[in-house]
Amino acid sequence: MSWHRGWSVLAVAMLFQAVTFGIGIYSFTFWVAPWSADFDVGRGDVMTVFLALQAGMGLLAPLAGRALDRLSIRGLIIAGALCFALGLALAGRAGAFWHLHLIFGTLVVAGLVLAGPLAGQTLAARWFTRRRGTALGVVTIGTSIGGFSLPPLVTTLNAELGWRATNDLLALLVVVAIVPLVWWVVGDGRGQAVQTNRTDVSAMNAEPPPSGLTVLDVLRQRVFWLTVFFITPVGTAFGGAHQNLAPYAADLGIGAQAAAYVVSVMAAVMVGAKVFFGIMADRWDLRVLLALALGGLVIAFGCMLTELSYPALLLVCGLLGFVAGGFLPLLGALVSQNFDIRAFGQVMGLLGPFTTLAAVGPWIAGHLRDVSGSYDLAWISLGVLLIPSAIAVAMMPPRPRSPP
């Protein structure tokens, strides 16, 4: 059997997601201490840069999604990588704290949106039809790979060279690792799918007719809003649990190093879960998989209301990783199942502002911990927040029958 070029495209998509998200998202925490010291600001002030980053991603996602459907995806990914590299280099030369807000709110945002999961999933949706769910699951592993591999490199370089010089090396890494491979491997197609059992890529390099879907057409679709009502509460609830794991573990009497292993377990399970949910999206009704992820999150919150031992916490975090692993593959499968595949990027982009709302989850959990003295009220509140998600799953359309 000949090698299907789509798998090579997925490998490159995993790479550019690993590099951009591994640096921009997973390694952001390692800028907090040096920025706080260099610019004489509090750690809370530093986190406003991250909030600006998330807000910018949500605002840019709809425009980027539409562009990915209509313009050269190869050119857009390369442009995003160059913006990201330039942002890192300029941040290393920032002379005032507001410079970081400006750089991360523009150049770094552009890099993460154009050379991140939105572009990766759009490529997967274009290159695969029969096994599209599997491809969507596989391609999302890229962000997890970045979460494993880039933080140790960043911390080592920071310790040896300082964060400013490290930023220059990371900028060079972005350009060298992403630009040549994207130019060589990724086709210049503009919105059409390629059969999984074909190696002919001529269709990928031809300009297709537009999907005909406008923004208003998408917003009028009932399934779009059902997707919003599922993903927003689930993302908020998971984010609240994820970002508060370390302080929650401290409340249980578990040290920072042991808590780090907990996070590693969650990330490891997440990788396997992405593949599982992707493969099953090709075989099962998506409502079953959505309910499975939702049920796992409810069980996790119920367990966290008890006084967990360290082994029990490991199991709960494994369950959280299983749930989180299904998030991106199921979102991509929902969009590809219910909308014209030529509008995949556009629809995913329009969902971006709603997924960004999940950023309030960590604040909700932390605030409720501060006012109540424990995380019990936080877990209960986040669990109740999942009720709209359960209603949305019940109202989702069934899996369409495959044509004969």
In a domain, 402, yes or no: no
**177's tokens:** 């690792």
C-alpha to C-alpha distances, 138 to 15, 55, 91, nearest whole angstrom? 12, 27, 32
Helix 222-242 to helix 286-304 angle (10° resolution) is 30
Residues 270 and 305 in one domain: yes
Between helix 43-70 and helix 29-39 the angle, nearest 10°, is 130
Asked if 395 and 226 touch (Cβ cutoff 8 Å), the reply is yes
* CA atoms within a 13 Å half-sphere pointing along the CA-CB vector of 120: 30
Candidates 158, 153, 1, 186; CA nearest to 77 is 186
Looking at the structure, tell me whether residues 29 and 168 fall in a common domain. yes
Whether the predicted pLDDT of 262 surpasses 80: no
Q: How many CB atoms lie within 10 A of CB 267?
A: 18
**What is the pLDDT confidence band of residue 338, given thresholds at 50, 70 and 90?**
confident
Domain count, the chain: 2
Whether residue 161 is found in the same domain as residue 237 = no
The confidence band for 374, taking pLDDT boundaries of 50, 70 and 90, is confident
Q: Of 140, 159, 192, which residue is a domain's last?
A: 192
Provide CB contacts within 8 A for 175, sequence distance 6+: 81, 82, 85
Mean pLDDT (the chain, rounded): 84
Rounded to whole angstroms, how far apart are CA atoms 371 and 363? 12
CB 76 within 8 A of CB 122: no
Q: In terms of residue numbers, what domain contains 41?
A: 5-192
Task: Decide: pTM greater than 0.85.
Answer: no
In this prediction, residue 125 carries a pLDDT of 82
Tell me which of 10-14, 305-309, 353-357 is least confident.
353-357
CB burial class (10 A; 0-12, 13-18, 19+) of residue 160?
exposed
Whether 377 and 278 share a structural domain? yes
Residues 232 and 377 occupy one common structural domain: yes
Residues 27, 171 share a domain: yes
Instruction: Name, in order, each residue with C-beta under 8 angstroms of 98's C-beta and a sequence gap of 6 or more.
Output: none
Among 68, 105, 80, CA closest to 16: 80
Does 161 lie in the same domain as 121?
A: yes
Look at residue 200 and tell me whether its pLDDT is greater than 60.
no
Compute the chain's Rg from CA coordinates: 21
Residue 190 CB contacts under 8 Å (≥ 6 apart), including other chains: 69, 70, 71, 72, 73, 207, 208
Letter for the amino acid at 195? Q
**Same domain? 177 vs 99:** yes
pLDDT surpassing 70 at residue 255: yes
**pLDDT-based confidence at 403, cuts 50/70/90?**
very low
387 inside domain: yes
In a domain, 400, yes or no: no
Instruction: Output the pLDDT for position 383.
Output: 93
Q: CA nearest 125: which of 67, 70, 61, 196? A: 196
Two structure tokens written together for 381: 């509140």
The candidate with the shortest Cα–Cα distance to 183, out of 85, 108, 77, 80, is 77
Pull the structure tokens for residue 185: 């491997």
Please give the Cα distance from 192 to 147 (Å, whole number): 31
Q: Are residues 226 and 159 in the same domain?
A: no
Q: Residue 380: inside a domain, yes or no?
A: yes
DSSP percent split of the chain into helix, strand, coil, nearest 5: 80, 0, 20
What is the CATH classification number for the domain harbouring 151? 1.20.1250.20
